[in-house]
Structure 1
Amino acid sequence: MAEPFGPEGLPLELARERILEALQPLGLVEQLPLAACLGRITAEPVLAAAAVPGFRASIMDGYAIAGSEQPLVGARWRLRGTSAAGAPYGAALAAGEAVRILTGAVVPQGSGRVLPQELVGVEGDQLELLKPCGVPVWIRGPEEEAAAGQELVAAGQRLGVAELGRLASCGVCQLTLTQRPRLGLLISGDELLPPGRQRAPGQIWESNSVLLAALLEQLGYGVTQQRVVADQPEPLRQALRELAAGCDVVVSTGGVSAGDSDWIRQLVAELGEVSFWKLFLKPGRPFAWGQVAGVPFFGLPGNPVAAAITALQLLWPALQRLEGGAIQVLPRLLVRLEQELRRGAGRPELARARLVVAADGALLARVEGSQASSRIGSLQGADLLLEIPAELGNLEAGTQLWAQLLRLPIF
């Protein structure tokens, strides 16, 4: 069985490196309709089947005039018809002719300019330019969005809102994607009770299954199988075997420390291997990494905040690697403490904080309440994970720190 990395455990960055080096993408693919592809990773490049929009289109409501020269005030044309979106004018314009045109409509052949409607006057079938029209021609080209055969999305790219919108505009309705890893979640503990049940002395309502499943869903991954098992070796052994047989990743919470009822690490070593355990991190020290029957294993701490933070720092990158995409990490920014923060030096810490923008635009971190790893309330409203180095003790207001931003991109 693996020993801790020194007396304190493995530093977070080194732990992440070791895990990612040990993993390879699953290499499985599936096809899904475009509407079901948000957050997924493309297994192959996506090319435009045709030019988009595929025709010259008016950028605004106005009048398409024959020719492309910049006309002078007082120039006149004869109106021949209308070109509307989805209902183009069906003929070419000859010299001295124009058509009424609406935004997005096809610009007729023979026309190289659209006059905005506020610059012209119309009397009967006569159109006259009343104000200077300037240089812009107010026409978008047939390949403005994409040319035929152009790569719209590369292989291995995670699809966001903008990518899906663009693909739809280019006529794409189905994509080939990498498969997401199937995740098995094992919650262990004699004291755990489902929410809604009456507690006996010493019992607590089990929250890790809800917390972690919600976090993983927020990150784009679901839980395929789940077990809540008491701290007894045989039921835990059976649960680990079943999850390893049906999933691509096994994740447990609790039972990886060195207490009398902490069986998980011992059982993982029996069924596979514990590559390392203990993190030099607060919260999150009791963490184990290895494999069960060849399936990657993550032993998260039992305290819910520590479980969530270690899942975010170590499990999330691993799931991305297995899915086959580039590793997306939380963006970092420099902030200053809004108030004094009292702590003991000794371990690096990821403290939960709110992001506050001061009147002068400075970015401040507000730490509220206890930072105990058992207090889920410290996650509520958290915008930041403050990266506090191990050697720092009590911190004065105004201290500058790096922080991880707990916000996912919109587009």
Structure 2
Amino acid sequence: MADGPATEPYGREGLPLDEARALILKQLQPLAATESLALSHALGRTTAAAVIAPAAVPGFRASIMDGYAIAGSDPPPVGCSWRLVGASAAGAPYGPVLRTGEAVRILTGAVVPEGSDRVLPQELVAVDGDRLDLLKPGGPNPWIRQPTEEAAAGQELVPAGQRLGVADLGRLASCGVQQLQVTRRPRIGLLISGDELLPPGLARGPGQIWESNSVLLSALLQRLGYAVADQRVVVDQPEPLRLAFQELAAGCDVVVSTGGVSAGDSDWIRPLVAELGQVSFWKLFLKPGRPFAWGQVAGVPFFGLPGNPVAVAITALQLLWPALQRLEGAEVQRLPRLKVRLEAALRRGAGRPELARARLVVAADGGLWARVEGSQASSRIGSLQGADLLLEIPAELGALEAGTELWAQLLRLPVL
């Protein structure tokens, strides 16, 4: 497909971020492949089907605390007595049915005997030989965990399309699940282009820079739960770039490039993608991240990220990450948002919406503040170090005063 009118269907400024995300997600379908994984290897993976409880859990009435299981169900008055006839411990239940006037010593998690619907906490009673006396009111709580408290047999524990967290795995283990079906993660092919790029550790020549986008993007994807399957660093020449695109598209589910998507003399990425597939749009109405392209190479989804490293990280979070979730068959999750106030004035020019990097500061009164430190240049990776927030600054706002309230995206992953 020739690189014609489709390259700028949204005006000179480019496509707004929310529209770009919606367009990309609309054009993607989940990959069909699934695999079976042991529970111990499933953290962060996405369920291919609902996970069903094979049996009730705990499956029996269990004592919530150490105490004494007594016959009957009504709260007894102070002064009542019972005869101790045995004990019930975890894994060693008391077998006979309790009869009127009988009680057994019971430990936390142990089976409550038949004939008993109440456990008395041990601090409420006195024991003298085989005699049990109630010294204090027991209250209405029977202190018994029901057989289906965690799950009933056949109950859905985790729906299809859910990314498995720590709590999910713990619950599945407690319900006897050891193996489950998950979706296959998309294979990502990464193409880094640039004549000036040099591997870190080598001596730089005139005009050369150490290549960092591959490390930055691979590490970011790894933090989000994805791995780069194939990676190439290629000079800005059409033939080696064309070959790299063809090889990556043949072996991967997604092709991602950095750099070379503008309209300069050595920006070959966009015309090559148009030749090998299609460019659906390029340019984002966003700072940083304007030079961004979306389309397909040989039928494989293509993301042309900017060349500057900060813009690489931000556009990957905003557009590539949601797309990978969609391909994996997961519910698309975005970074959580919260309201914060600027700790100090921020100089900027109006014209484009901006995602500025900031630290989250929690004041003594619990107020949330954003601290912007140093240059916000898209080439300065230092602006990402220690960043907790991406401040959402609307296009129409210029210089911002201290105390200005803004929405911010939280750059912290959940624990459970």
Using the size of structure 1 for normalisation, the TM-score is: 0.98
Which range is displaced more, 107-116 or 192-201?
A: 192-201
State whether structure 2 residue 347 is matched by structure 1 residue 342: yes
Counterpart mapping for 1:93-172 below 5 A: 93-172=98-177
Q: How does 1:1-400 map to 2 (within 5 A)?
A: 1=3, 2-4=6-8, 5-400=10-405
How far the C-alpha of 1:362 sits from its partner, in A, is: 1.7
How big is the alpha-carbon RMSD for the aligned residues of Structure 1 and Structure 2? 1.1
State the identity %: 80
One-letter amino acid matched to 2:196: E
CA–CA distance in structure 1, aligned partners of residues 85 and 169 of structure 2: 39
The offset of 1:3, in angstroms, is 2.4
Task: Please give the alpha-carbon distance, in whole angstroms, between the structure 2 residues aligned to 1:205 and 1:84.
Answer: 65
**CA deviation profile, 1:91-121 (whole Å, cap 9, x unmatched):** 2212111111110010111111111111111
SS in 1 for 2:287: coil
Residues 216-262 of structure 1 deviation map (CA, whole Å, 9 limit, x = unaligned) = 11111111111111112111111110100000000000111112221
Q: Letter of the aligned partner of 2:17 in structure 1?
A: L
Matched residues in 1 for 2:297 and 2:12: separation?
25
- SS at 2:7's partner residue? coil
Aligned residue pairs, count: 411
CA apart distance, 1:72: 1.5
Report the Cα offset of residue 201 of structure 1: 2.5
After the TM superposition, which segments of 4 or more aligned residues of structure 1 sit over 4 Å from their partners? none
* Deviation (angstroms), 1:405: 1.2
| Partner secondary structure for residue 341 of structure 1 | coil
The 2-side partners of 1:202 and 1:79 are apart by 88
Q: Which runs of 5+ in 2 are unaligned?
A: none
Distance between the aligned counterparts of 1:146 and 1:47, measured in 2? 10
Consecutive unaligned residues in structure 1, runs of 5 or more:
none
- Describe the SS at the equivalent of 1:42: coil
The C-alpha deviation readout for 1:67-109, integer Å capped at 9, x for no partner, is 1121111211111221111111122212111111110010111
Q: Residue 390 of structure 1 aligns to a residue in which SS?
A: coil
CA distance in 2, matches of 1:382, 1:327: 23
CA shift digits 1:323-350 (9 cap, x unpaired): 1122111111111111000011111100
**Pairwise CA distance, 1:176:** 0.8
Tell me which amino acid in the other structure corresponds to 1:153. V
